[in-house]
Amino acid sequence: MIVGVGIDVVDVARFLATLERAPRLRTRLFTADERDLPPASLAARFAAKEAIAKSLGAPAGMSWQDATVHRVSGGQAVVETRGTVAARAAELGVTRFHLSISHDAGIASAVVVAESD
């Protein structure tokens, strides 16, 4: 059963400019596994985290650090949750996230479907 759907779109150049103006933002938004990715991939991860939050109803108090997006070589991206994100997912009965991320022509996008058994 679908619990929620989230979508987000990010302008890569604008997002990179924001990270350059506020360097600590990179640490606040991304886990250690994500921080050194190329700009377009960072923007796509940010879009994914926004889409995850939206699929969960975008409640206040969720930490960006509590979701990590892993890219599996030759496979679909995987969402790892913990802490505040995992707690909200459990509260809603979410057992898995389906994630599609992309970046092309200066735009990064993500769509998430939160599903329960």
CATH of the domain at 44: 3.90.470.20
3-state secondary structure of 34: coil
| Domain assignment of residue 18, given as a range | 2-115
Q: How confident is the model at residue 51, as a pLDDT?
A: 97
From the list 18, 92, 10, the residue with the least C-alpha distance to 58 is: 92
- Domain count for the chain: 1
Q: What is the pLDDT of residue 33?
A: 86
Please report which helix (H) or strand (E) contains residue 2, including its range. Answer: strand 2-11
For residue 93, give the DSSP letter.
Answer: T
pLDDT of residue 73: 78
pLDDT score for 63: 93
Q: pLDDT per position in the chain (117 positions), as tens?
A: 999 999 999 999 999 999 999 989 999 999 998 999 998 999 999 999 999 999 999 888 999 999 999 987 777 889 999 999 999 999 999 999 999 999 999 999 999 999 998
Nearest CA-CA partner of 63 in 99, 101, 28: 28
